Amino acid sequence: MDDSHVRRLLRRCSLRRKKRRDTLPRIPFAQHATSGSQLLAADRFSATGPKFKLIFGSANELRLSAGENAAELIGLAWLYGLHVRSSIGRRRVLQAEYMLSNMRNRVIELACLREGLPPGEGRGFDDLSKDQKSRFAECYPSSLEREALQHAFQRTMSALIDEIQLRKSALFERIGSTPVEIARCDVPHGSATRAT
């Protein structure tokens, strides 16, 4: 990439910033940038984790992400579970695997919260207890065959049920056997795995 192209990109970015004073550059240009910068609204600029260190300027207060709210994680895992079920039923295996991965990640984030680990972006996944890691290893499909996806879905739904029981027993009582029926898995009441 030649310098004239970089200068044009910088000029274009500069003109856009003049038009929209409420944005800040999120990623500054390097001398040999290969793409345009991303802009972030000034009122949304804040730390995304506990290790954030501001070099210059000012930032807003740290906002808790969805990953820090157990109720929201349970809801998202549930929603992804419904999509896993319908994707498997429609034989859309890649979509099913995508939804299953998202469901599984929300359930693992719940386990991270319970064990006092950072849930966001998988930062605490590797620090879970050995028992938890081996339990979640069963939530990965061995292939993209419907049976393997269904088995992984059942294990993930079972893990979600365990997390709901450990965290929100009233919620589990309210939803009853619905998750079990959705995943067509056999999970006896009170099967939650306690953290060691």
Looking at residue 69, its pLDDT comes to 83
Each domain of the chain, given as residue ranges in start order, spans 1-63, 66-183
Q: Is the pLDDT of residue 71 over 50?
A: yes
Looking at residue 166, its pLDDT comes to 84
CB within 8 A of 144, min separation 6: which ones? 93, 94, 97
Looking at residue 51, its pLDDT comes to 67
Q: Which of 16-20, 51-55, 74-78, 166-170 has the lowest mean pLDDT?
A: 16-20
Confidence of residue 59 (pLDDT cuts 50, 70, 90): confident
Query: In whole angstroms, what is the distance from residue 186 CA to residue 85 CA?
Result: 16
Looking at residue 30, its pLDDT comes to 46
Q: Which of 14-18, 122-126, 130-134, 155-159 has the lowest mean pLDDT?
A: 14-18
Q: Is the pLDDT of residue 160 over 80?
A: yes
Instruction: Note the CATH number of domain 66-183.
Output: 1.20.120.330
For residue 104, with 0-12 CB atoms within 10 Å meaning exposed, 13-18 middle and 19 or more buried, which class applies? buried
More confident: 171 or 134: 134
CA angle 24, 29, 30 (to 5 degrees): 150
Specify the amino acid at residue 27: I
Looking at residue 72, its pLDDT comes to 87
